[in-house]
């Protein structure tokens, strides 16, 4: 049976099975959900077994478990390793959801007139990861599995994949593959499919500014003592100049410039600044001068405050000079930049600009390397052909602004490139309240993936 008819015949089950996964609160960041995360791993193990994968096993780590399963048909055929994650971001702020984040419902939206599944993890990444298990089910049903397929689904992506690195190092042979296939990114629009050819890297730091040894009365002391919140605001404000450039010394040193040719190709992808602004209700866009919005969010590095706190933030007014101020700052990196070096440059710069009236402490968090792949790669070509088969139009290559730090490590440790066949949309609100995933996207993903295996196997066997 071809993928399309299989999907037509099993629509209800394809949804109800995903819904079962979405009901599990597999929030990796919050230890109070550890049992739910473990339960989710068991559910995936069960699915892997039920679709006929072999050597299905849950691998415990010092964090959350990894689920593995494989189907090895012929050592002469190429091997594809599918990677995905079953953990999700916390649902907070819960009050901004229209319903329970862990009770999936289908609702129509302007962008998804045929309906979308609303739930935490619907798009990132349970819905997209599950498409791969269902696509495998189609191959199995067709009785024609064109290559060896391995699945590795982890539970710590949203917290930095800290234990996956040692897992892939320890199981290098088990995970040996020709290419890694991932659906954990997006595409331009439902009628403009795209394949992600790049991911940004990440450097993440937390800063603490300390002034006096206790909170002070802002009348008695105000004017004579450095206020850590004022100072931190100043320091953060100085991290960008008028042109929107980051002022950290050496920040751009290793950035690999993108050529005019690639920029011209990027500019061909449909984009409306007006629609972009309207979709997130901003009065005007802002960013580094000399670059378009799609460039600012993909080929350029950035620095953003993710959270900033200190002092009195309760009801009403309290007159106080806080003892401490804090901020969490992320830097998205592009090819050439190294997260450890950037973190060090941040530390040097921030220490240098701190006035003598305060003490500062900087704590680095997890980071990750940027990633790029090329359209000349046979795996890219196979993916491109698969999209063309099911969407009826060719897919555009696009660099994404998001990060999946393990992808660069896959290349280093397993020596294989990753092909990022994402089917989500930027408007799907991943990490936000009311995350959703289009029914069109879910079913189209399941339909497209089997063609990737078919084309990839034939390209590799008869290049
Ligand atoms: N799936 C996302 C990354 C993504 C989304 C890439 C859309 C491209 C398009 C992933 O789950 C994620 O959220 N990554 C984090 C980094 C991680 C270290 C927490 C990110 O990009 O913030
Ligand atoms: Mn993800
Ligand atoms: Mn995510």
- pTM of the full predicted structure? 0.95
What's the average model confidence in pLDDT over 268-280?
95
Give the pLDDT confidence score for residue 388 in this predicted structure: 98
Give the pLDDT confidence score for residue 312 in this predicted structure: 96
Q: pLDDT tier at 56 (50, 70, 90 boundaries)?
A: very high
What's the average model confidence in pLDDT over 187-201?
97
Length of the chain, in residues: 463
CB 101 within 8 A of CB 119: yes
Structure tokens at 69: 């399963």
Q: Which ligand is nearest to the CA of 156?
A: 1
> Quick one: which atom of ligand 1 is closest to the CA of 401?
8
Between the CA of 127 and the centroid of ligand 3 the distance, in Å, is 12
Distance CA 390, CA 383 (A): 11
Q: Which ligand is nearest to the CA of 302?
A: 1
> Quick one: which atom of ligand 1 is closest to the CA of 204?
18
Give the pLDDT confidence score for residue 339 in this predicted structure: 97
Under 8 Å CB-to-CB from 180, ≥6 apart: which residues?
80, 81, 82, 83, 407, 410, 414, 416, 417, 418, 419
CB 60 within 8 A of CB 120: no
Q: Is 342 left (phi over 0), alpha (psi -120 to 50) or beta?
A: alpha
Structure tokens at 193: 């499919």
Nearest Cα residue to atom 10 of ligand 1:
404
Q: pLDDT tier at 366 (50, 70, 90 boundaries)?
A: confident
What's the average model confidence in pLDDT over 34-57?
98
**Measured on CA atoms in the order 430, 422, 415, 335, is the torsion positive or negative?**
negative
Give the pLDDT confidence score for residue 462 in this predicted structure: 85
Give the pLDDT confidence score for residue 241 in this predicted structure: 98
| Cα–Cα separations (whole angstroms), residue 162 to 227, 367, 375 | 36, 10, 30
At the second CATH level, the architecture of 3-199+370-461 is 3-Layer(aba) Sandwich (3.40)
Q: What percent of the chain has pLDDT over 70?
A: 100
Between the CA of 20 and the centroid of ligand 2 the distance, in Å, is 19
Between the CA of 226 and the centroid of ligand 2 the distance, in Å, is 41
Between the CA of 124 and the centroid of ligand 2 the distance, in Å, is 5
Give the pLDDT confidence score for residue 370 in this predicted structure: 98
pLDDT tens digits, 62-77: 999 999 999 999 999 9
Q: Which residues line ligand 1 (CB under 6 A)?
A: 124-125, 157-158, 160, 184-186, 202, 368, 400, 402-405
Nearest Cα residue to atom 20 of ligand 1:
403
pLDDT tens digits, 112-169: 999 999 999 999 999 999 999 999 999 999 998 999 999 999 999 999 999 999 999 9
For the chain, the structural domain boundaries read 3-199+370-461, 201-255+301-367
Report whether pLDDT(463) > 80: no
Query: Cis (ω within 30 of 0) for the bond into 125?
Result: yes
Between the CA of 124 and the centroid of ligand 3 the distance, in Å, is 6
201-255+301-367 adopts what CATH topology? Alpha-Beta Plaits (3.30.70)
Nearest Cα residue to atom 16 of ligand 1:
403
Mean pLDDT of the chain: 97
Q: pLDDT tier at 1 (50, 70, 90 boundaries)?
A: confident
The pick from 403, 435, 437 for probing ligand 1's pocket by mutation, whose C-beta has the most ligand atoms within 8 angstroms, reads 403
The residues placing their C-beta within 5 Å of ligand 3, an ion, are 124
Between the CA of 158 and the centroid of ligand 2 the distance, in Å, is 7
Give the pLDDT confidence score for residue 202 in this predicted structure: 97
Q: What angle do CA 158, 337, 61 make, to 5 degrees?
A: 30
Report whether pLDDT(44) > 80: yes
Between the CA of 402 and the centroid of ligand 1 the distance, in Å, is 5
The pick from 27, 64, 89, 157 for probing ligand 1's pocket by mutation, whose C-beta has the most ligand atoms within 8 angstroms, reads 157
Report whether pLDDT(226) > 80: yes
According to the 3-state scheme, what is the secondary structure of the chain?
CCHHHHHHHHHHHHHHHHHHHHCCCCECCCHHHHHHHHHHHHHHHHHHHHCCCEEEEEECCCCCCEEEEEECCCCCCCEEEEEEECCECCCCCHHHCCCCCCCCEEECCCCCCCCEEECCCCCCCHHHHHHHHHHHHHHHHHCCCCCEEEEEEECCHHHCCCCHHHHHHHCCCCCCCCEEEECCCECCECCECEEEEEECEEEEEEEEEECCCCCEECCCCCCCCCCHHHHHHHHHHCCECCCCCECCCCCCCCCCCCCHHHHHHHHHCCCCHHHHHHHCCCCCCCCCCCCCHHHHCCCCCEEEEEEEEECCCCCCCCCEECCEEEEEEEEEECCCCCHHHHHHHHHHHHHHHCCCCCEEEEEECCCECCEECCCCCHHHHHHHHHHHHHHCCCCEEEECCCCCCHHHHHHHHHCCEEEECCCECHHHCCCCCCCEEEHHHHHHHHHHHHHHHHHHHHHHHCC
Nearest Cα residue to atom 13 of ligand 1:
158
Under 8 Å CB-to-CB from 10, ≥6 apart: which residues?
none
What's the average model confidence in pLDDT over 209-228?
98
Between the CA of 145 and the centroid of ligand 2 the distance, in Å, is 27
Nearest Cα residue to atom 18 of ligand 1:
160
């Amino acid at each position: 049976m071809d993928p399309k008819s299989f999907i037509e015949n099993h629509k209800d089950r394809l949804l109800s099975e995903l819904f079962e996964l979405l009901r599990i609160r597999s929030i990796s960041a919050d230890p109070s959900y550890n049992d739910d995360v473990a339960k989710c791993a068991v559910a995936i193990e069960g699915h892997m077994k039920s679709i006929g994968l072999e050597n299905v096993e849950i691998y415990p780590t010092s964090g959350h478990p990894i689920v593995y399963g494989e189907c090895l048909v012929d050592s002469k055929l190429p091997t594809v390793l599918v990677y995905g994650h079953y953990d999700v971001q916390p649902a907070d702020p819960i009050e901004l959801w229209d319903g329970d984040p862990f009770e999936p419902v289908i609702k129509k939206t302007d962008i998804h007139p045929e309906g979308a599944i609303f739930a935490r993890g619907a798009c990132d990444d349970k819905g997209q990861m599950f498409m791969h298990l269902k696509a495998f089910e189609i191959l199995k049903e067709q009785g024609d599995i064109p290559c060896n397929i391995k699945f590795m689904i982890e539970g710590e992506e949203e917290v930095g994949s800290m234990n996956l690195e040692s897992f892939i190092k320890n199981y290098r042979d088990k995970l040996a593959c020709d290419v890694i296939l991932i659906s954990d990114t997006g595409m331009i629009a439902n009628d403009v499919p795209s394949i992600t050819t790049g991911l940004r890297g990440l450097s993440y730091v937390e800063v603490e500014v300390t002034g006096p040894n206790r909170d002070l009365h802002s009348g008695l002391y105000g004017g004579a003592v450095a206020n850590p919140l004022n100072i931190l605001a100043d320091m953060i404000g100085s991290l960008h100049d008028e042109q929107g450039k980051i002022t950290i010394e050496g920040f751009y040193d290793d950035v690999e410039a993108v050529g005019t040719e690639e920029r011209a190709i990027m500019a061909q992808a449909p984009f409306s600044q007006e629609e972009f602004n309207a979709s997130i209700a901003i009065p005007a866009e802002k960013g580094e001068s000399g670059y378009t919005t799609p460039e600012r969010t993909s080929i350029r590095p950035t620095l953003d405050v993710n959270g900033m706190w200190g002092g009195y933030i309760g009801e009403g007014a309290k007159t106080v000079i806080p003892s401490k101020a804090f901020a969490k700052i992320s830097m998205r990196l592009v090819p050439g930049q190294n997260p450890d070096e950037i973190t060090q440059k941040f530390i040097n710069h921030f220490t240098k600009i701190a006035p003598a009236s305060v003490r500062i402490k900087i704590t680095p968090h997890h980071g990750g390397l940027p990633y790029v792949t090329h359209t000349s790669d046979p795996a890219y070509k196979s993916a491109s052909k698969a999209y063309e088969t099911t969407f009826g139009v060719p897919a555009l290559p696009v660099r994404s602004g998001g990060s999946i730090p393990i992808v660069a490590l896959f290349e280093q440790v397993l020596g294989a490139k990753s092909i990022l066949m994402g089917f989500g949309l930027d408007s799907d609100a991943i990490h936000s309240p009311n995350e959703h995933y289009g029914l069109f996207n879910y079913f189209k993903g399941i339909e497209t993936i089997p063609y990737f295996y078919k084309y990839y196997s034939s390209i590799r066997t008869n290049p």
